[in-house]
């Protein structure tokens, strides 16, 4: 199996994030996640690590607002230029806004922090010097996986970092800056119908935002109910698309403590919808934070559960671009990914 991966992600390593209640904590979405997965992949006989191709900016601008991408590109240098004290010790800092736009007839302002509060939705999307470059590389991993499944008509894995599914058309959030899976799905949509299934623990609000009024990409997300779980404002069952996209989006908000049985029941329903849609390609937003014991999740999916999840999705027999999203139980992360992927090789 082709595994698209780049070392560019390593320098995107904010020194902290801010949790609910204002507590500053070490950054959960860190390079150790990739190291655990790489170690597990290198123990297999079927994983072929490949550098991604640079697809340029156009496939990203086909999904994301140009001014938002410009903000990501210039934020760090603008911030350093504005504050000599921060510029003297940049490794100790991360850009985060203090004011967040409610998006009720709001618009970005000329000030950096004003734009930050417009384009960043929470305190986990921390921007440092290498964030933009790492995000571009991550998107290119996803695009390379998409290109591979068209050319080879087989499945492949994009080991993306930063992840992407919380990034909307014009905002970052939840460790995500460019929506890798959506960029890949949009690129594939020019080749045929696309199904996008999100199995991360958290609702794929950014993906929902991007495709909500489209009928050429069926989007489905299985996740913790936003009544108790991040992102809290999106991912409800009655959100089913709008306009031309009405009926082409489906959320499966599941209760706390969902285990293998409950998860697989929802997955089977989602797979029936995909079969009925009959796409040419599948994009799989793959989060491992449904795992029992993940520090950012409240589900209890086991490694056996991941094996079954992989087996059932692979039974669709679709060329599948598997895109890495979340998963923060680092000690088990590599094993969990390999357990799922080996069903597609």
Whether omega for the bond prior to residue 231 falls within 30 degrees of 0, making it cis, is yes
Under 8 Å between Cβ of 141 and 6: yes
Helical axes 303-314 vs 330-341, angle rounded to 10°? 30
Catalytic residue at 9?
A: no
Hey, what's the torsion of the CAs at 326, 127, 30, 10, to 10 degrees? 120
Hey, how many other C-beta atoms are within 10 angstroms of the C-beta on 111? 12
Hey, how many other C-beta atoms are within 10 angstroms of the C-beta on 316? 16
**Strand-pair partners of 88:** none
Under 8 Å between Cβ of 163 and 176: yes
> In 263-275, which positions are buried (b, 16+ CB within 10 angstroms) versus exposed (e)?
bbebbeebbeebe
Which of 93, 166, 202, 223 is labelled catalytic?
166
Report the alpha-carbon distance of residue 283 to residue 261 in Å, rounded: 24
Active site residues: 166
């Amino acid at each position: 199996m082709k595994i698209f991966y780049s070392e560019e992600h390593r320098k995107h390593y904010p020194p902290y994030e801010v949790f609910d209640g204002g507590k500053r904590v070490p950054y959960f979405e860190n390079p150790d996640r990739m190291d655990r997965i790489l170690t597990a992949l290198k123990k297999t006989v079927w994983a072929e690590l490949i550098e991604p191709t640079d697809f340029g900016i156009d496939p990203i601008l086909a999904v994301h607002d140009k001014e938002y991408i410009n903000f990501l590109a210039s934020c760090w240098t603008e911030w350093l230029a504005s504050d000599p004290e921060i510029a003297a010790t940049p490794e100790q800092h991360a850009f985060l806004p203090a004011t967040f736009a409610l998006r009720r007839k709001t618009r970005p302002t000329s000030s950096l922090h004003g734009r930050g509060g417009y384009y960043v939705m929470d305190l986990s999307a921390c921007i440092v010097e290498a964030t933009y470059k790492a995000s571009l590389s991550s998107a290119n991993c996803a695009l390379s996986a998409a290109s591979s499944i068209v050319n080879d008509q087989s499945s492949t894995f994009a080991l993306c970092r930063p992840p992407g599914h919380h990034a909307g058309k014009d905002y970052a959030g939840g460790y995500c800056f460019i929506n890798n899976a959506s960029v890949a799905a949009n690129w594939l949509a020019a080749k045929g119908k696309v199904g996008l299934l999100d199995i991360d623990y958290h609702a794929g609000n950014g993906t929902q935002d991007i495709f909500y009024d489209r009928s050429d990409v069926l989007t489905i997300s299985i996740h913790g109910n936003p009544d108790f779980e991040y992102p809290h404002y999106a991912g409800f069952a009655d959100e089913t698309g709008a306009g031309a996209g009405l009926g082409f989006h489906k959320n499966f908000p599941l209760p706390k403590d969902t285990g293998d049985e409950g998860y697989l029941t929802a997955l089977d329903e989602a797979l029936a919808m995909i079969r009925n849609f009959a796409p040419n390609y599948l994009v799989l937003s793959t989060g491992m934070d449904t795992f029992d014991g993940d520090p950012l999740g409240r589900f209890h999916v086991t490694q056996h559960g991941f094996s079954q999840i992989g087996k059932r999705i692979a039974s669709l027999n679709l060329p599948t671009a598997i895109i890495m999203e979340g998963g923060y139980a680092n000690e088990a992360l590599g094993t969990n990914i390999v357990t799922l992927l080996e069903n597609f090789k």
